[in-house]
Structure 1
Amino acid sequence: MKFKVETLPNYRIAFVRRVGPYGPANIEVMEKLKIWAKEKNLLESATLFAIPQDNPEITPPDNCRYDACIVISKDYQLGDSICESELSGGKYLVYEVKHTAEDIHKAYTDIFPSLISNGYQVDNKPILEKYSGDVINAPFCEICVPVKP
């Protein structure tokens, strides 16, 4: 599986969180974020992240957290209607994946053997699904896997 190595910066983000089993309901959370971002004129040329915070193989499905995020500037003033956080940057292996449920699921199955066979170790940070550019119609996303230096 092909990847590139990137050092991502720290990002200030606005996000919406859903707790429950990963699946189709995650799309609703991302749509909610996109509606909010569009109302605030933030969506055009935005960078969005989908962050599955928990490993569903060890976390009960009802406790899995999924965050839909948008990168915001350091000086952007947020209201009370949305949460704020920071994503810590660092070294990531970045895999470009076709943005379909099937291709993303297959990528998650293939990424870990690829990562190990290339001598990398996963860092203790969430895996990020990155959407940038024309995020409304983009046919691809990037799965960014944090690795230890």
Structure 2
Amino acid sequence: MTSQENQAAYARRMHHVLEYIDRHLDQTLELNTLAEVAHFSAFHFHRLFSAWMGETFGDYLRRRRLEIAAMRLIAQPGVPVLEIALSVGFGSAEAFARAFKTRFGCSATEWRRGQAERWASQLEASHNGTSSQNSNPDQMHGKQDQAGKLRPGHHGNSPTATTEILMKVKIIERQAAKIAYMRYTGAYGQPISQFWVKTVSPWMETNNLFGRPRYGISHDDPAITSPEKCRYDAGVEVPPDFVASGKSFTTTIPGGSYAVTRYIGDGRDIGETWTGLLRDWLPASGMQLDARPCFEYYPTDATCDAQTGAFECDLCIPVVPL
């Protein structure tokens, strides 16, 4: 294989490892097990992981567990702190408390209370008409216009202001779906829009993938994870025999129960809709998240108005009984 092909093969193996970690955070994760997932020698895996990720396996695993815990503390306010700690792989409340305070500078309880107060104050501000002044610039990603090409759209995640949202949420059973995707790593926002337009669109055209359902998967919350470490996957459904090449990868969106709400707008308030789903609807629903990813789903019949910028998509979160 060429040098580029070798690099792509390494990247695909590492993507499998990161996906495996996310779906098994509540379990003991040993280097030998992950080396097997990556089909690398256990002797060399630790060094390879550090070189590829820019942090040791232990540091990455600790960071990922704490960031997922921080998100669940907000999205699941009725779940005891210890239960959340156990759900991300900490063996005791003491170990979790020490690690959480080291990472975030406060206790898990203080974090949960502080985030709740922050959202409440921002909700009040939005009612007073000040939210537009306090909000960050919208985050962007690509949309598909009626001609099949991708155009810029807005991508919101963890906005700094929120409003009360009357949303219709339904629980559906989704079948597993194989997707091919390209990954962007870095600060969310305008760069994601450019990523769709300049990188993903030509790749989709080359592989004859237009006209298929698409996915946008934000793996990290930029309010929690450092911008340079945030990961976003731009994906499209592909046939079972599709083989990834170049800088593309394949994975399976797991099937099962998902809470879904339809978003319609120009994207400027999509972050607020995510907030309403995760931090308002979910805690009152009697459901909780599991290890599957949240994602935006763009069905083939989703409307898109090139003149107004209005589009529609389904916001999907994986749920299981509380």
Q: TM-score, normalised by structure 1?
A: 0.88
1:129 maps to 2:296: yes
Structure 1 residue aligned with 2:316, among 124, 144, 147?
Answer: 144
1:92 maps to a residue whose letter is Y
- Measure how far apart 1:76 and its partner are: 2.4
Q: Paired residue for 2:5?
A: none
The 3-state SS of whatever aligns with 1:141 is strand
In structure 2, how many angstroms separate the alpha carbons of the residues matched to 1:18 and 1:68?
8
Instruction: Identify unmatched segments of 5+ residues in structure 1.
Output: none
CA distance in 1 between counterparts of 2:286 and 2:303 reads 35
Distance 1:19 1:81 in 2: 13
Aligned pair partner of 1:56 in 222, 246, 253: 222
Are 1:16 and 2:182 an aligned pair?
Answer: yes
Higher CA-based Rg = 2
The residue aligned with 2:255 is 89
Q: 2:243 and 2:265 mapped to 1: Cα distance?
A: 31
Specify the alignment match of 2:200 in structure 1.
33
Q: Is the partner of 1:59 in helix, strand or coil? A: coil
Alignment RMSD, CA only? 1.9
8 Å CA contact retained: 2:303, 2:312:
no
Question: Is 1:3 aligned with 2:169?
Answer: yes
* 1:17 partner letter: R
State the distance in 2 between where 1:77 and 1:18 align.
20
Between the aligned partners of 1:18 and 1:136, the Cα distance in structure 2 is 25
Give me the whole-angstrom Cα distance separating, in 2, the residues matched to 1:137 and 1:40.
23
The unaligned stretches of length 5 or more in structure 2 are 1-166, 306-310
| SS of corresponding position for 1:74 | coil
Residue 240 of structure 2 corresponds to which residue in structure 1?
74
The one-letter amino acid paired with 1:94 is: V
2:117 — aligned with what? none
d(CA) in 2 for partners of 1:54, 1:33: 20
**Amino acid of the structure 2 residue aligned with 1:58:** I
Distance in 2 (CA, whole Å) between partners of 1:129 and 1:87 is 12
Aligned AA for 2:175?
Answer: P
Whose strand fraction is larger, Structure 1's or Structure 2's?
1
Residue 251 of structure 2 aligns to a residue in which SS? Answer: strand
Tell me the distance in 2 between the aligned counterparts of 1:8 and 1:33: 25
In the TM superposition, residue 63 of structure 1 has moved relative to its aligned partner by 0.3
| Contact 1:99 1:141 (C-alpha < 8 Å) held by counterparts | no
CA separation in 2, counterparts of 1:125 and 1:80?
26
Aligned residue in 2 for 1:116: 283
Deviates more, 1:78-87 or 1:11-20: 78-87
Separation in 2, partners of 1:125, 1:86: 10
How many angstroms apart in 2 are the aligned matches of 1:72 and 1:83?
Answer: 11
Q: Which has the higher contact order (CA 8 A, sep 6+)?
A: 1
